[in-house]
Amino acid sequence: MTALSGKTVLLIVGGGIAAYKCHELIRLLKTRGCRVRTILTRAAEEFVTPLSLASLSGEKVHTALFNLTDEVEMGHIELSRAADLLVVAPATADLLAKMAHGLADDLASTALLATDKPVLAAPAMNVRMWRHPATQRNVKVLDGDGIRFVGPNDGEMACGEFGPGRMAEPAEIVGAISSLLQPKDQPLAGRKVVITAGPTREPIDPVRFISNHSSGKQGYAIAAAAVALGAETVIVSGPVSLPIPPGAQVLRVETARDMLVACEDEMPCDIAIFAAAVADWRVDQIADQKMKKRRTGPPVLSLTENPDILKTIAGKTSKRPTIVVGFAAETEQVVANAQAKLKKKGCDLIVANDVAEGTGVFGGDRNTVHLVSRAGVESWPAMSKQDVSTKLMHRLVLMLRADDRKS
């Protein structure tokens, strides 16, 4: 059973190149037991065919507003009300503008205006269109109206430009749909979870920095799992290009010191999870101007140690989170090193993973972890970062309950 089984999604496909991703989106939703009804805008029909989407979804695909047969079988109001959730993907600049202004001049915009169900939009457009004040204004209006967003992501666009505007990947959209359709049994309702994620970036001069390959995927997946359990969820995030999990709040930071300050500001909380790959060192003296090549040879960078955020927060005597979780990325003696780290950092749980070459953990979608606590070691089989996150959050709920019983 998933949050999606037995649910109906009304998928509204806008006219953009990203429309091709709807095939995969429908397939993923169907494999999770979800019924998918689809509306194509007229422009979307230029990119995907009703026939291909009907074959994948196993349902009739709706296209024009005034189709009398459709109106007799299922009117457009009914179409949008019979769904548990409406998903607009790709949500083009034009569709967002229509939604923001309440226009209803075709089946897609009419269904969106007629619905009383949650709406999730996955924007996709050229980076300049996304950044245009008119689009940003519309997004703000829609946000105020309670429309949820997933993406857009940063990356290269079909038009050759680079920046925010790529539609979220189908798996991310499914994740966002799942958390919106999650049953309201939420053991972390009223609880606060703070998660650090991604790398830190330590400047050398105005154009250079020291950083690492952390993608932030594991931390963001944990945040989505925390939201699904009803927690007030704050991600203190280094520079990553990942969509914000719907319902989570993101505080963007660059350096380790900024990350520590942001974490301190968020204390106290019930659970703090330190999944960020914090740079151990920073440059002692950041150059004011771009460093130039010199005849005397390359400059020597003098490094100084960064604060250990996990250790600092775990060692607090006031405002310490009830449960503090660290991550340990190890290339050898994974469990033994994690046990030593548990003691050294003073946390309650270490999630240890093997990041030796070839494991594909950095930037990948799967992870093999060991949970190391004072109670012992529990090794989990390889699974997706999403599954690690869900299992981990459920485990933390149990730890929190045990702590509630003590006090």
- Which residues in the 66-105 window bind ligand C5P by CB under 6 A? none
| Residue from the set 274, 314, 349, 354 that interacts with ligand C5P by CB under 6 A | 274
Is residue 108 a contact partner of residue 38, using CB atoms and an 8 Å limit?
no
- In the bound state with ligand C5P, the residue whose beta carbon lies nearer, of 93 and 260, is 260
Q: Is 220 in the site for ligand C5P (CB under 6 A)?
A: no
Least Å distance, CB 394 to ligand C5P, is 20
* Residues in Cβ contact with 103 at an 8 Å cutoff, skipping those fewer than 6 apart: 97, 109, 113
Catalytic residue among 22, 34, 159, 263: 159
Q: How many CB atoms lie within 10 A of CB 23?
A: 16
d(CA 10, CA 81): 9
Q: Is 353 in the site for ligand C5P (CB under 6 A)?
A: no
- In the bound state with ligand C5P, the residue whose beta carbon lies nearer, of 89 and 248, is 248
- In the bound state with ligand C5P, the residue whose beta carbon lies nearer, of 136 and 333, is 333
What residue has token string 């169907």?
30
Q: What angle do CA 29, 61, 143 make, to 5 degrees?
A: 60
Which tokens sit at 83? 């769904």
Least Å distance, CB 348 to ligand C5P, is 12
Q: How many residues bind ligand C5P (CB under 6 A)?
A: 13
Active site residue 22: no
- Which residues in the 280-319 window bind ligand C5P by CB under 6 A? 306, 308-310
| Residue from the set 92, 109, 115, 196 that interacts with ligand C5P by CB under 6 A | 196
- In the bound state with ligand C5P, the residue whose beta carbon lies nearer, of 92 and 306, is 306
Burial of 401 (0-12, 13-18, 19+ CB in 10 A): exposed
- In the bound state with ligand C5P, the residue whose beta carbon lies nearer, of 220 and 274, is 274
Which tokens sit at 371? 């949970």
Write the interaction track for ligand C5P spanning residues 318-337; mark x where CB under 6 A is met and - where it is not: --------xxx---------
Burial of 377 (0-12, 13-18, 19+ CB in 10 A): middle
Write the interaction track for ligand C5P spanning residues 233-272; mark x where CB under 6 A is met and - where it is not: -----------------------x----------------
d(CA 334, CA 355): 9
Q: Is 392 in the site for ligand C5P (CB under 6 A)?
A: no
Least Å distance, CB 187 to ligand C5P, is 24
Which tokens sit at 314? 């775990």
- In the bound state with ligand C5P, the residue whose beta carbon lies nearer, of 89 and 194, is 194
Closest C-alpha among 173, 217, 175 to residue 195? 217
Burial of 302 (0-12, 13-18, 19+ CB in 10 A): exposed
Least Å distance, CB 385 to ligand C5P, is 15
Least Å distance, CB 278 to ligand C5P, is 4
Closest C-alpha among 351, 354, 305 to residue 324? 351
Catalytic residues: 159
Enumerate binding residues for ligand C5P (CB under 6 A): 196, 256, 274, 276, 278, 306, 308-310, 326-328, 341
